[in-house]
């Protein structure tokens, strides 16, 4: 059943009073202006059956989204918290960009996942997410009490997903400078995850790392993180250095450090990732992958032996770590595969 127009409301429903908000941030007026026509549209089209809450999460929830030359760069992330993530529910929330807007994306958060998995995404939603419609305290059930409870794997997974953002930039889906900014920020964030000091705030992360004086043992990387933070928050503009692909080399440097730390011995990235993949085997992930490619036999070996995401990450690492030339359509295809496969989440 679809709600009537009179029942479609839009507003901030954070359960805490403004004085109680841990990080003292809320969505900017520019973000709220973009969302104001979108939230009623979503509710009118999908209805409220099975929907618990609709929230804005990520950097846009705390006024840390990126604007460049008056335009929003990156996405405003919306989270639809649902009771059961059945195929019909998932299909209901698949909106084309032309409907929501070029910079607004919506993801489905099953309630059982929020209660079970300890991810950076859920932790940030708990600390800084703002409910626009529905159950205001929906993220209180996230199992992470503080940053020390965030599993180290989340730092590695963050850096690996930034490798995929590099492919988006190489294929023209993302500005190169923005991929560079996200890469440098991710390495500092991953370092803080490993030390148990992660905070969902760009400014506070910079303060913590400035006191330490390095990131993953590198003072140069701290300088890059500082520049990336200033660009992300609109305090400076991207320089020429952020237009090259040097950030890809730093990602490789950081991933080697992180994976070796995780396994407690020095390893090559691909070897370490292979070892980790053997400890993260999810039958449902492989089954869904094989079902999607049931008429494409050349994909089958990728889904039989390990989670397909590890094969996708490994291929992406080969792309940025070698001089081999890949066609744009090959990179776009790999990015689309990455967007569709499930990733191993820590419980």
- Sequential DSSP letters for 190-242: HHHHHHT---S-HHHHHHHHHHHT-BTTBHHHHHHHHHHHHHHTTSS---GGG
pTM to 2 decimals? 0.85
Task: Determine the pLDDT at residue 13.
Answer: 56
Helix, strand, coil percentages in the chain from 3-state DSSP, rounded to 5: 55, 10, 35
Token pair, residue 284, equals 């449902």
**Largest Cα–Cα distance in the chain?**
61
Domain 5-145 = CATH 3.30.460.10: yes
**Spatial CA neighbour of 80 closest among 120, 51, 49:** 51
Task: Determine the pLDDT at residue 21.
Answer: 37
Q: Long-range contacts of range 326-333, CB-CB < 8 Å, 24 or more positions apart?
A: 326/170, 328/170, 328/171, 328/172, 331/167, 331/170, 331/171, 332/171, 332/173
The three-state secondary structure class of 108 is strand
Helix (H) or strand (E) holding 277: helix 269-278
Spatial strand order of the sheet with 76-82 comes to 104-110, 76-82, 51-57, 130-134
Task: Determine the pLDDT at residue 284.
Answer: 66
Residues whose CB falls within 8 Å of the CB of residue 241, separated by 6 or more in sequence, listed in order: none
Task: Determine the pLDDT at residue 293.
Answer: 62
The residues of the chain that CATH labels 3.30.460.10 are: 5-145
Strands 130-134 and 66-68: unpaired
Task: Determine the pLDDT at residue 129.
Answer: 95
Task: Determine the pLDDT at residue 202.
Answer: 95
Region of residue 134 (left: phi > 0; alpha: psi -120 to 50; beta: else): left
Strands 76-82 and 104-110: parallel
Q: How far apart are CA 34 and CA 60, in angstroms?
A: 11
Residue with tokens 């030390």: 195
One digit per residue, pLDDT tens: the chain, 347 residues? 333 333 334 555 554 333 333 444 789 999 999 999 989 988 888 888 889 999 999 999 999 888 878 888 878 999 999 988 766 666 777 776 667 777 888 888 999 999 999 999 999 999 999 999 999 999 999 999 999 999 999 999 999 999 999 999 999 988 999 999 999 999 999 999 999 999 999 999 999 999 999 999 999 999 999 999 999 998 888 877 677 889 999 999 999 999 999 999 999 999 999 999 888 776 666 666 666 666 666 565 555 567 889 989 999 999 999 988 889 999 998 999 898 888 888 88
The three-state secondary structure class of 65 is coil
Cα Rg of the chain (Å, integer): 20
Task: Determine the pLDDT at residue 308.
Answer: 87
């Amino acid at each position: 059943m679809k709600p009537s127009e009179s029942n479609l409301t839009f507003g901030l429903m954070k359960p805490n009073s403004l004085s109680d908000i841990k990080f003292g941030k809320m969505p900017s007026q520019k973000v709220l202006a973009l969302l104001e026509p979108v939230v009623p549209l979503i509710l009118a089209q999908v209805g409220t059956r099975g929907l618990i809450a609709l929230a804005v999460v990520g950097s846009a929830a705390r006024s840390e989204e990126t604007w460049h030359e008056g335009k929003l760069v990156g996405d405003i992330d919306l989270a639809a918290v649902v009771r059961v993530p059945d195929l019909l529910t998932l299909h209901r929330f698949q909106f084309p960009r032309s409907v929501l807007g070029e910079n607004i994306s919506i993801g489905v958060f099953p309630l059982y996942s929020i209660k079970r998995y300890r991810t950076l995404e859920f932790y940030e939603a708990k600390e800084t997410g703002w409910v626009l419609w529905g159950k205001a305290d929906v993220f209180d059930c996230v199992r992470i009490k503080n940053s020390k409870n965030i599993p180290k794997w989340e730092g590695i997974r963050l850096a690996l997903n930034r490798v995929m953002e590099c492919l988006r930039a190489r294929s023209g889906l993302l500005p190169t400078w923005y991929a560079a900014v996200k890469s440098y920020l991710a390495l500092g964030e991953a370092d803080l995850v490993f030390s148990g000091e992660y905070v969902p705030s760009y400014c506070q992360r910079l303060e913590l790392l400035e006191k330490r004086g390095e990131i993953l043992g590198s003072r140069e990387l701290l300088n890059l993180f500082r520049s990336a933070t200033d660009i992300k928050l609109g305090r400076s503009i991207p320089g020429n250095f952020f237009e090259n692909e040097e950030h890809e080399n730093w990602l490789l440097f950081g991933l080697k450090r992180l994976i070796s730390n995780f396994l407690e011995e020095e390893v090559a990235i691909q070897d370490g990732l292979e070892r980790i993949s053997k400890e993260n085997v999810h039958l449902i992930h492989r089954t869904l992958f094989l079902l999607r490619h049931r008429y494409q036999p050349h994909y089958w070996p990728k889904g039989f032996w390990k989670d397909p995401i590890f094969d996708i990450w490994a291929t992406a690492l080969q792309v940025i770590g070698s001089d081999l030339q890949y066609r744009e359509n090959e990179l776009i295809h790999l990015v689309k595969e990455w967007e569709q496969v499930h990733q191993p989440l820590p419980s």
